[in-house]
Structure 1
């Protein structure tokens, strides 16, 4: 494919809408998914390659402090859809104007161990973007090479025990960044789909 062609990339990304999910993430015991959330998986061209935008949460947050995540959060009652929620959260967290975002697909939801049902919203950024992270929520905005995210061999499997139930989670290393949990699991779904549909 033509990696520098935005139209070709948008068309290619839209193919992930057909992603099939096999529940083999190994998370073991999960709470019932009672809380709806959405995240923005934003692909953009930077430094000669396609990349995915990620954030590092501030260390003082009550939940997920210091973790790597996509921009996103709860779907509020006033949000008309997961797409609207993801765009709203991205604007609040990193200053991303919705007008710069071309949504190409909503991916199958991901259920977390903490009871969230997360809808990943896959999108292409249109034009150069200078992040303006919210100091209350985001310590840093960075981007992960898409080629690394799509490499199934790059994911590490780690065992854990939660509430007496054994399971495992996946992690992805990029420089000093350790991406794990739901974020790594959702990225790995993209990688597995890409490997099965090259």
Structure 2
């Protein structure tokens, strides 16, 4: 998708992001529903699309541990299933982020939410977008998180770094995005629901 424009740097500042969520444009998400691959009751969940306020903003991502029952080993946002005590999607995302990576809510400034994304495993996910102070201390839960890393926001908001995939099996056509990213330590393969929600974030920012 290198023919599509990247989101300008001026639109990625904390002030610009606050204005964008305070006065959102008319837009349509590009990816909202995956092909179902697991028969289970739908469950509501939230993830935290955490923008770390570094000199060049980054997005916080995790690599899930291999033994988890769903989406094991995959790159994901901090987040998880809603609890009955959660009043809002943001409450879920903040609680889960604290449980998973040790991110205390006082370091987080929630901007708003993106449209829900329904995974093939029947999770109805609300992405909660937030700014995070860089002086926070992160302590990943080793049971859930195998790795913690950050990707430049500018990289994720440039569609030249987005890849499209198509897979046909047993007459079922599946399509998804990926955003492979290499840092100084390893290659990170961002794909599936995480990449789909980031693609929607790009569409929201570019609208």
Shorter-chain TM-score category?
0.7 to 0.9
- Structure 1 counterpart of 2:204: 193
- Structure 1 counterpart of 2:193: 182
Q: Is the 8 A contact 1:82 1:119 kept in 2?
A: yes
Unpaired runs of 5+ residues, structure 2, are: 1-8
- With over 3 angstroms needed to count, the CA separation of the structure-2 counterparts of 1:114 and 1:164, relative to structure 1, is farther
- With over 3 angstroms needed to count, the CA separation of the structure-2 counterparts of 1:24 and 1:122, relative to structure 1, is closer
Query: Which stretch shows the higher mean deviation, 106-115 or 151-160?
Result: 151-160
Unpaired runs of 5+ residues, structure 1, are: none
In the alignment of these two chains, the number of paired residues is 194
RMSD: 2.5
- Structure 1 counterpart of 2:75: 68
Whole-Å Cα distance in 2 between the matches of residues 4 and 118 of structure 1? Answer: 24
Q: Is the 8 A contact 1:16 1:190 kept in 2?
A: no
- With over 3 angstroms needed to count, the CA separation of the structure-2 counterparts of 1:13 and 1:178, relative to structure 1, is farther
- Structure 2 counterpart of 1:107: 114
- With over 3 angstroms needed to count, the CA separation of the structure-2 counterparts of 1:93 and 1:17, relative to structure 1, is farther
Q: 2:18 aligns with which of 10, 15, 18?
A: 10
Q: Deviations over 1:108-148 (max 9, x none)?
A: 10011111110000000134223100011001111111011
- Structure 2 counterpart of 1:126: 133
Could you list the runs of 4 or more consecutive aligned residues of structure 1 that deviate by over 3 angstroms after TM superposition? 1-9, 12-19, 22-25, 27-33, 161-164
More strand by share: 1
Whole-Å Cα distance in 2 between the matches of residues 108 and 96 of structure 1? Answer: 24
